[in-house]
Amino acid sequence: MSVAPPASSRDRILVVVGDAALARWVVSLVEALRRSGAAAFLRIARSEGPRPSSALATLLGLEKMLVAGHRPSGADRIGPDELDKGLIEPADFRPDIVIDLNEGGERLPRATQLRPLYDGEPGETALASALFFRGTPRIAIERTAPDDDGGRIVAEGTASLEAASGIGGGIDAVASRVATLLLKALAGTGDGAPAAPAIPVRPIGSRDIAMRTAKDVARAAVRAAYRLCCHGSHWRVGWRFATPGDDVWTRRDLAGGRWNVLADPVDHFYADPFPLHWQGRDYLFFEDLDHKTGKGVISVVAFDEAGRPGPAVAALEEPWHLSYPFLIERGGEIFMIPESSANRDIALYRATGFPAQWRRHAVLVEGVEAADATIVEHDGLLYMFAVVRDGVGGYSDTLAIWWADDLFGPWRPHAGNPVLVDDRAARPAGNFVRRGGALYRPVQDCRRAYGGALGFMKVTRLDREGFAQAGEGTISGGGAWPGKRLHTLNYNGRLEAIDGFTLRPRFKPAADLVDRWYRPGS
């Protein structure tokens, strides 16, 4: 990841992997280590006896044909003859650090060992077993110094599988975060923590593969049929005027006053709502995505004196996708930071003709694929939170922070970046709030699906050197707000807004029928 701390240019690192487990992600790991400044090489250990990954290779091959459509993946097997010879360990190479990717390994003298663990067990078999039977595993990087009897955990995280397809996609997603955590471990200090108890590895058998493949084919057929008659992903915005004390942050549920649905066209969805009360009037900004193009713009509705929303008006459009219109006031002016990860920057826009005219004012952070930037002022500094990735893995599991003295920068990376790798607690879900003297942030819980639930996090430390938070529960759709997903919550003391996933037929008569049946409070 681009936000991971760099390894020292003095580090000599050897990555060891068995020939049966040699995959494209291993090569990507070595290349990432080199980009960080380390002298990194690869050693391919010969597997003795039956190849331990034969069942997995069979499964990955079937997935590639039936589910993944032959798309390339980090889990793809490669042969030693396909490697750039410059990656292979030279005969006279003496590593300081060995990254052991095998189930078991031989310790090299005078070298510190880093070993990824998946639910407490090392190696690709443990990773595949976790993905197959339990879902995304807990990743832990175990460090063992030359004179240590046992290892200590120096970095941990959980990868999001929201963009993964099958076990191969899961391996790719998890492996990308293994690389992030290894880089963090290389830059870190301290003794670490004892390893948690391991979950025993359950071998994947031929019967398991047959059952899994049949289910995957059936799911693919159902998804194809669904997309013939419905839009594949449709979000909608809910809003209500709520008095303090009857809002979601206070109640920690979606009950209270009735939610109103912001009417949307059949071929557009609305999401990521941000309310604003400005110069005596209420406004609601949100992502407006056209299903035909898959590209989002920022739209806005203005509320009249009776509290009724007017028509949606396009407020900001760029050649790239926009969403999550975070708003902030400075010096009597309104600024917006929309999500623009496709342009690889975090940019600030200034309202030149509020609410529907905006101009790109400044780039706060360059060269980063970042989503859902959210700013909070705390102890005299501004802190900007966003999830980041580098083209691989999920979009919701890796949290980075930048800090600044002023909105216009310069914005400096937090010393602990990435401060968190966690599919349940990393991705911002709206504005920070203060309650009872404490600072809170809503987060997207993506363990079961993208936007699967919304979590409440209490920030227990936030400064230039550290960050910590503690969970205080989650909420999801259903009952007061029908739908299985929920990923944005904002409240400005007057207007409260959320969003949610819903069924959306492609044809308006059917869509109207669903709207009448599938409405808040039903």
Chain segment 401-447, per-residue pLDDT in tens:
999 999 999 999 999 999 999 999 999 999 999 998 999 999 999 98
pLDDT tens-digit readout, 120-131: 999 999 999 999
What span, in angstroms and rounded, lies between the C-alpha atoms of 1 and 17?
Answer: 21
Q: Tokens for 366?
A: 């360059």
Residue type at position 98: V
- Residue 50, pLDDT > 90, answer no
User: If pLDDT is split at 50, 70 and 90, which confidence band does 1 have?
Assistant: very low
Of 187, 232, 261, 265, the closest CA to residue 13 belongs to 187
pLDDT tens-digit readout, 25-40: 999 999 999 999 999 9
φ/ψ (deg, to 5) at 162: -60, -30
pLDDT tens-digit readout, 323-361: 999 999 999 999 999 999 999 999 999 999 999 999 999
Work out the angle between the directed axes of helices 166-187 and 54-66 (0-180°, nearest 10). Answer: 120
Rg (CA), the chain: 24
Q: Tell me the three state secondary structure of residue 59.
A: helix
Burial 262-297 (b: 16+ CB within 10 A, else e): bebebbbbbbbbbbbeeeeebbbbbbbbebeeebbb
What is the rounded average pLDDT for all residues in the chain?
89
Q: Tell me the three state secondary structure of residue 250.
A: helix
Strand order in the sheet with 323-330: 323-330, 333-339, 345-353, 357-366
What span, in angstroms and rounded, lies between the C-alpha atoms of 71 and 24?
Answer: 13
- Which of the pair, 513 or 123, is modelled with greater confidence? 123
Q: Are 67 and 165 in contact (CB under 8 A)?
A: yes
What span, in angstroms and rounded, lies between the C-alpha atoms of 291 and 514?
Answer: 18
CA 505 from chain centre, in angstroms, equals: 28
Q: Are 301 and 311 in contact (CB under 8 A)?
A: yes
In the numeric block, the tokens 């003795």 are attached to: 48
- Per DSSP, helices labelled H in 105-205 are 124-133, 166-187
Note the pLDDT of residue 49: 46
Give the distance between the most distant pair of CA atoms in the chain. Answer: 79
pTM of the model: 0.92
Average pLDDT over residues 466-484: 87
In the numeric block, the tokens 């979590």 are attached to: 455
Q: Is-cis flag, bond preceding 6, omega within 30? A: no
Q: What separation in angstroms does the CA of 66 have from each of 62, 63, 130, 249?
A: 6, 5, 22, 44
Average pLDDT over residues 240-258: 93
- Residue 514, pLDDT > 90, answer no
Average pLDDT over residues 82-101: 93
Q: What separation in angstroms does the CA of 521 have from each of 285, 312, 481, 487, 503?
A: 24, 24, 7, 19, 16
Note the pLDDT of residue 444: 96
User: Torsion angle of alpha carbons 172, 177, 179, 182, nearest 10°?
Assistant: -150
